[in-house]
Amino acid sequence: MTNSIEAVALGKRYRRRWALQDCTVAIPAGRVVGLVGANGAGKTTLMHLIVGLLRPSAGAVTVLGGRPGEGPDQLARVGFLAQDAPLYGTLNVGDHLRLGRHLNPGWDEAAASSRIDGLGFDLRQRAGQLSGGQRAQLALTLAVAKRPELLLLDEPVAGLDPLARREFLQSLMESVAEHHLTVVLSSHLLGDVERVCDYLIVLAAGRVQLAGDVNELLATHRVLTGPRRDPRSLPGDIEVIEEAHTERQSTLIVRTETPIVDPAWTVTELGLEDLVLAYLGQSAAAARPPTSPLNANEGPT
Amino acid sequence: MIWLTWRQFRVQILVAIGAFVVLGAVLGYTGPHLVHLYHDSGIRECQASRGDCGPLVDSFTSHYPWWHGLGPLITVIPGLIGVFWGAPLLARELETGTYRLAWTQSVTRTRWLATKVLIIGVATIVTAAAFTVIVALWLSPLDTVNANRFSPGAFSQHGIVPIVYAAFAFALGVAVGAVLRRLVAAMAVTLVVFTLVRLVIQQWVRQHFATPIHVISALFGGGSNAVGPNAWVVSSRVVDRTNHTVAIHRDSLRSTCGLPEGEFSRDALRACAQRLGLHQILTVQPANRYWPFQAWEAAIFAVLAVLLTGFTFWWTRHRIT
């Protein structure tokens, strides 16, 4: 089994609105996958489909070879940290650990207590009184001590201050290294994704725009700057993701497997953030009525 | 799952146990005294000699005036259980988002729900039964004296029906919470629907469990004398010699008979009504149908509770997705 998650034409509809549509994606095992997209892009929906909280309206998704949420064994193999780290406000920290112990046959008590000790939790403190960072850490402890093979985290650091964010990601990476987890982490903070993820999926408007190994993506994407010209005149193996033109100059973001040899272009590398924004911009442009390609400064801002 | 259910439910169950202990202490302390008062009241001897026991009864029932509140207490307990035990079970998890924590542990949501419904359902039945039994025990001398246990209100506060009402209210609360996903809305809707169902069955359905009998009795002759103690007089109408229903009440009868204003003598009214050939026809469910009626009503609410619970499981599996 080389893929942890395989989705084929997966879709989820709420009444008339499609929250996720025609999502075909394979997420390899043993990777730390960043799931990136704007708010409302369908990240949470996709995660809920993978853990079995939701059922697909169209298509299918296979998780670790099984159907999501189908039986206790399947549930035991997938850990989930939902958005805003839901915890029971009136239960204290110790109660939550006990909850994890009672509801998970594979519960790793040693891992849980060492994490809780290391984080300096007071077991008698109510979850409702914890800070955002502590909530996220406690929720992560529950998800990790369950000893899943696949761990999904939905915007785990969205509400945290920079320090708590760094500590959270650090302890996440320690757990990943220790337990050989496959991780899918959704975020709209591209810096965090760049720091911890080695595989990237870009979701926009309920569809997958881009999926691939981060290094591979960075190696195959380039920024071309040169005298103004029509991008359609480029060789066929170069795919234009984004274009911006001034009166004299064209700036293109392209995907290509082969090196750019045309001396007219200045070729520079592309950061992950710009890469993601280019694909998000592309999907936004696709949603707008078409305009002429040489039509003023259309591009990222 | 059992531990989690207990941990999340313990405040509610402790409130119920606390209320039971307080009520039990009060009833346990005063109950023997009430029995003693009954034996000393002379009502039994009076009833055996078929005399006018009204003053004795009035004197006896005035000793603990708060007994009037015990029946209503049994009436509201199922509603409270539905609102505070049933409605939050799913609605709170769905509203606060903790279902995402609960249902992604290594326990299927069906088992999660089954454990909760079973444990809290059993607690519901035990609680309702415990309150109903201690109140019924305490009230038994008063029930004997009042001899009206088949009347709509008293019927709903005794026997097995309060327990089944509670089970129904709980199942209703859980189902409404699953559908609405909002705690306060679920509590309000549970209370309203429960009250409506109870009311409709009590006022319009219960009387049809068996074909009633009709009893002819003299006007102002005391209907209960004609039908015996603990029978349920569902309705009555006044008819004339030709068996036609006539619309007549006490005041119009008084003026027809030429009796002076402020004349309240039942004997005078009865004599006049007899002279005019008026009598009343009572629609009655006799006292010996009390337990069959309890069984009928309990069966209706039990079936509703089972259907609602089945619906909740289906909804949780297939619609909360």
Residue B104 with chain A: CB contacts under 8 Å: 51-53, 75, 78-80, 82
CB contact under 8 A, A75 and B7: no
pLDDT reading at A296 higher than 50? no
Q: What is the pLDDT of residue A148?
A: 94
What is the band of A294 on the pLDDT scale with cuts at 50, 70, 90?
very low
Q: What is the pLDDT of residues A14-43, one digit of tens each?
A: 888 888 888 888 888 999 999 998 877 889
Would you say residue B206 lies in a domain?
no
Number of A/B CB contacts below 8 angstroms equals 73
Residues B245 and B122 in one domain: no
Let me know whether B240 and B193 are in one domain. no
> Are residues A115 and A178 in contact, defined by beta-carbon separation less than 8 angstroms?
no
- The Cα–Cα gap between B74 and B25 comes to 17
Residue B159 located in a structural domain = yes
Contact residues on chain B for A102, CB-CB shorter than 8 A: 1, 3-4
Residue B66 lies in a domain: yes
Q: Is position B207 within any domain?
A: no
pLDDT (tens digit per residue) in B114-164: 999 999 999 999 999 999 999 999 999 999 888 889 999 999 999 999 999
Q: What residue in B sits closest to A49 (Cα-Cα)?
A: B321
CA dist A118 and A266 (Å) reads 50
pLDDT value of residue A14: 87
pLDDT number for residue B289:
95
Minimum mean pLDDT range among A13-27, A218-232, B239-253:
B239-253
Task: Give the pLDDT band of residue A293 (cuts 50, 70, 90).
Answer: very low
Same domain, B176 and B245: no
pTM, whole model, 2 decimals? 0.90
Domain identity same for B69 and B170: yes
Model confidence over B61-100: pLDDT tens digits?
888 889 999 999 999 999 999 999 999 999 999 999 999 9
Question: What value of ipTM does the predicted structure carry?
Answer: 0.87
**Average pLDDT of the residues of chain A:** 87
Same structural domain for residues B169 and B305? yes
Check A99 against B105: CB less than 8 A apart: yes
The answer to the question of residue B269 being in a domain is yes
Task: pLDDT band for A1, please (50, 70, 90 cuts).
Answer: very low
Question: Testing the interface with B: which of A54, A102, A140, A142 to mutate, by most B Cβ within 10 A?
Answer: A102
Report if residue B182 sits inside a domain. yes
Chain B partners within 8 Å of A104 (Cβ): 105-106
A15, A27 in Cβ contact below 8 A?
no
How far is Cα B318 from Cα B315, in angstroms, rounded to an integer? 5
Whether residue A108 is predicted with pLDDT greater than 70 in this model: the reply is yes
Each residue of B23-47: pLDDT tens digit?
999 999 999 999 999 998 888 888 7
B174/B87 same-domain check: yes
Q: What is residue B191's three-state secondary structure?
A: helix
Asked whether residue B103 is assigned to any structural domain, the reply reads yes
For residue B280, being part of any structural domain is answered with yes
Res B251: pLDDT:
75
In a shared domain, residues B116 and B141: yes
Q: Determine whether the interchain pair B106/A75 forms a contact, defined as Cβ–Cβ distance below 8 Å.
A: yes
Angle in degrees, CA B18, B24, B29, rounded to 5: 135
In this structure, the answer to whether residues B248 and B267 fall within a common structural domain is: yes
Query: What residue numbers bound the domain in which B252 lies?
Result: 213-287
Instruction: Determine if residue A262 is left, alpha or beta; phi over 0 gives left, psi from -120 to 50 gives alpha, anything else beta.
Output: beta
Are B148 and B282 members of one domain? Answer: no
Q: Are residues B25 and B64 located together in one domain of the fold?
A: yes
- From the CA of A163, how many Å to the nearest CA of chain B? 25
pLDDT exceeds 90 at position A205: no
Number of structural domains found in chain B: 2
Q: What percentage of chain B reaches a pLDDT higher than 90? A: 66
Q: Is B231 found in the same domain as B182?
A: no
User: Domain check: are B196 and B239 in the same one?
Assistant: no
Asked if pLDDT for residue A210 goes beyond 60, the answer is yes
